Amino acid sequence: NSKVLILFDDNCQPFPATKKPDMRQIMIETLLKMLYEYGVSKMKIELMCAVALHRKMKEHELEFMLGKDIMDEFYPHQLRNFDAEDPDQIVEVGKTDRDEIVETDKAALEADLIIYVDMIQIPLNGGHKSVAVGLGTYNSIAPHHSPHMTSESPHVMQPEGSHMHACIERMSRLIQKETPILVIEAAMNGAIYPFHLRYVGKPNKDCNIVERVIKTFTPATLSLLPESARYKILKSVRTDYEPMAVNAGDIDSVHAKTLSLMKDQLAIDIPRQYSTLVFGLPDMSPYAVDARINPVLVVSDILGYVFNWFYNKPLIKKNGVVIILNPTYEIFHEEYHVAYKMFYDEVLADTTEPFEMQQKYQEKYAKDEYLIECYRNRYAHHGFHPFTVWYWATYPLKYLSKVILVGPKEPRVAQQLGVDWAKNLDDALSMAREISGDDDVVALTMPPFFYANVKE
């Protein structure tokens, strides 16, 4: 008679999308077989995609991730997306010792065991974040996805020294008092490119003659194609991710192993900090799966993600400059990015300062009935979601002297985003030189992803 709730991540990670079969399908199929062998009834098992405030996954996306057999057996009555705005399902667990509200899906409290199946790509994810955030509501997520959490401490992308992750852990431990949680974490390798594209992820010095020739002519060849065709080609690539290890057990012991593996995989020793960072952002974001990246994500993915991908200190010096290369089209997916479009048009037109927008607009967007309807029934990100990604840029917005956007033909988009604009890279480097007084520039190429371990 034991009730088992199996939770799994949405398709925000790993990204880009993996080839079939997805590791979550393999793990859940194996897990179901074990549960049946232990005598757990199929009717006592529920599967739930822990989307938090992300957009819900569509049926075809769930089938791509989990496979036809699981879909046929459980969907739709025992397999669903979490809904953070469902009044019939959301319950309050309690408050932490710092008065932070913890809410979750009542299925988590009614279960005898929660099993979270996780593919970990970066140390941002997994561990205590899985259930506490994956089944979190606006009331629960707002305390840790706040500019107060990241204003003085830049650690967002890994738990050590992170105010955000400490808050999440407090909430997770409260849930653990109600229901035991078993996690199964697959620490994924960095094999983003399939065999025929592996040269893309290599430095030129490591490429053979054929690979160098292909690398030289590919950009020019792609530029001859219509932009829509390039988009389809690039989005069709499926990654070759494989697990370095799969560990199961309680959160603390398992996630410690995952973080160790991640550090071995991602840490790159870098001798010193640099004055200027140049980064060409591809049309890729965990929050733009099956969609174009929008202007809000262009800034937040660089300052919230890439800037924060370090273990000890930022790759860029204090008062340094970040140059973003991206065309930054004003395109917002009509289903997924409804709140982002409103955020761009209204909030950023008024302010780009995280604390000010939190005070003036956060509650309005989080409680907006239209945005809640879009989240619940139209596959949109929650009204609060664009605020969360912008808040992750709170520290770098204070730390850097300038952010320069190169790509848009006119400065208007950059002005809306609260950053500077340059018509080309040479002009941007000249602007950076005026600030730093040197040509101390580092250029990053991602993917594959890495975390900086700065020596000096």
- The answer to which of 47-51, 189-193, 402-406, 416-420 has the lowest mean pLDDT is 189-193
Regarding beta strands 101-105 and 90-95, do their DSSP bridges make them parallel or antiparallel, or are they unpaired?
antiparallel
% residues pLDDT > 70 (the chain): 100
Whether pLDDT at 269 is above 80: yes
Nearest to 52 by CA among 144, 121, 122: 144
Residues 6+ apart with CB under 8 A from 346: 361
Sorting pLDDT into bands at 50, 70 and 90, what band is 155? confident
Q: What is the pLDDT of residue 379?
A: 99
- The answer to which of 60-64, 115-119, 212-216, 335-339 has the lowest mean pLDDT is 212-216
What domains can be seen in the chain, in order of their start residue?
4-188 (3.40.50.11440), 195-235 (no CATH), 271-454 (3.90.226)
Q: What is the pLDDT of residues 125-137, one digit of tens each?
A: 999 999 999 999 9
Q: What is the pLDDT of residues 289-309, one digit of tens each?
A: 999 999 999 999 999 999 999
Whether pLDDT at 91 is above 80: yes
Contact (CB, 8 A) for 374 and 339: yes
Which residue in this structure is represented by tokens 């389809």?
A: 232
Q: What is the pLDDT of residues 213-263, one digit of tens each?
A: 998 888 888 888 888 888 888 888 888 899 999 999 999 999 999 999 999
Nearest to 450 by CA among 161, 274, 192, 153: 192
Q: What is the pLDDT of residue 215?
A: 87
Question: End-to-end alpha-carbon separation of the chain, Å?
Answer: 58
Nearest to 104 by CA among 1, 2, 7: 7
Q: What is the pLDDT of residue 229?
A: 87
Sorting pLDDT into bands at 50, 70 and 90, what band is 208? very high
% residues pLDDT > 90 (the chain): 85
